[in-house]
Amino acid sequence: MSQDTVESHKQFRDKYGLSVSLLADPGREMSEAYESVKKRKSFLIDPQGILRKIYDKVTPAEHAEEVLKDLLQMQKEM
């Protein structure tokens, strides 16, 4: 989720060939609710919609590996 527009997300998704939907929040309602305005945060939500982890400080170059590790651990526990 970011405060970018739906069109901006579509262009980004198409450019990088992503198969996932990206959440646009140009009005900042969700960003404010999750206290993530002007911050780079990630949230790990399981298939049932339960928030499993909040990443308050995200380093883009390392974050995908960190999330993958947590996802694999979460799968083992289920």
pLDDT tens sequence across 15-58 = 988 888 788 999 999 888 888 877 788 888 888 888 899 998 88
Domain count, the chain: 2
d(CA 34, CA 17): 28
Residues 29 and 54 in one domain: no
Residues 59 and 27 in one domain: no
d(CA 6, CA 23): 8
Identity of the residue numbered 71: L
Residues 34 and 45 in one domain: no
What pLDDT sits at residue 74?
87
Report pTM. 0.61
Structural domain that includes position 27: 1-38
Residues 44 and 58 in one domain: yes
Residues 55 and 29 in one domain: no
Residues 34 and 46 in one domain: no
Q: Of 69, 60, 12, 2, nearest to 36 (Cα)?
A: 2
What pLDDT sits at residue 40?
80
